[in-house]
Amino acid sequence: MRIVIAGGHGQIALRLERLLAARGDEVAGIIRNSAHEADLRDAGAEPVLCDLESASVAEVARHLEGADGAVFAAGAGPGSGVDRKNTVDRGAAVLFADAAERAGVRRYIVVSSMGADPQHPGDEVFDAYLRAKGEADAYVRGRAALDWTILRPGMLTDDAGTGLVRLEASTGRGPVPRDDVAAALAELLETPATAGLTLELISGSTPVSVAVKSVAGN
């Protein structure tokens, strides 16, 4: 498969790129900083320079043409303010979904956040983040031309992945290594029967591949 990942230099994205490249997929990562190109190549991915905060739908769609799947893994990141939560975590996610639809890429996976909710209350930056992610998720759910899956991990850690997770519509809060989030994304890309599902992910006792097959009904 050819997979295009938005936010290609993110910590989860780099892990996913390595996994996909290792299994023989063709991977492209969208980045806005040319200094990150070498890191993507080291991960086995083709770097694609494009700023999702300023690009047009048509421009992004050109980068998605011919892809079998798209993953939105971009984020404004820690230290960013409310404005960038809206322009990246919401705005770029909406743009990427529109571009995937224009390019005819049906399989579309969103890396969201546990607690994402368009109606989330509060005035802190993290509250704005959860609202932005919730608004983006709601927008993607409304795109009939996309076979979307929304993945909402718990508290992300840099612990080594165990390959054992809990993946359900509602798991309750808990930690999960970024390694295992990437592994779940790789499995979801190969499991189109998970389209239309919003799933939470934390560490657990079920192998990733088994957990994904279970929610897919297999």
pLDDT of residue 17: 98
- The band of 55, judged by pLDDT with boundaries at 50, 70 and 90, is very high
Residue-level pLDDT at 86 = 86
What one-letter code names the amino acid at 148?
Answer: W
Tokens of residue 151, six digits: 């993945």
**What's the start-to-end Cα distance of the chain, in Å?**
22
Cα–Cα distance list, 10 to 28, 77, 118 (Å): 13, 9, 24
Residue written as token pair 């809060």: 173
Q: Are residues 47 and 36 in contact, defined by beta-carbon separation less than 8 angstroms? A: yes
Tokens 């969103």 -> residue: 110
Q: At what angle do helices 57-64 and 93-103 cross, to 10 degrees?
A: 60
Angle between helices 178-189 and 208-215 (to 10 degrees): 50
**What pTM, to 2 d.p., does this model score?**
0.95
pLDDT in tens, 23-54: 999 999 999 999 999 999 999 999 999 999 99
In a 10 Å sphere around its CB, with 0-12 CB exposed, 13-18 middle and 19+ buried, how is residue 213 labelled?
Answer: middle
Whether the per-residue pLDDT at 65 is higher than 90: the answer is yes
User: Given a cut of 80, is residue 79 above it in pLDDT?
Assistant: no
Question: Can you list the domains of the chain with their CATH numbers?
Answer: 2-216 (3.40.50.720)
Specify burial of residue 89 (Cβ count, 10 A radius: 0-12, 13-18, 19+).
buried
3-state SS, residue 124? coil
Decide if 214 contacts 206 (C-beta within 8 A): yes
Give yes or no for residue 218 having a pLDDT over 70.
Answer: no
Q: Count CA atoms within 13 Å of residue 145 on its CB side.
A: 9
Four-residue CA torsion sign, 39, 42, 43, 45:
positive
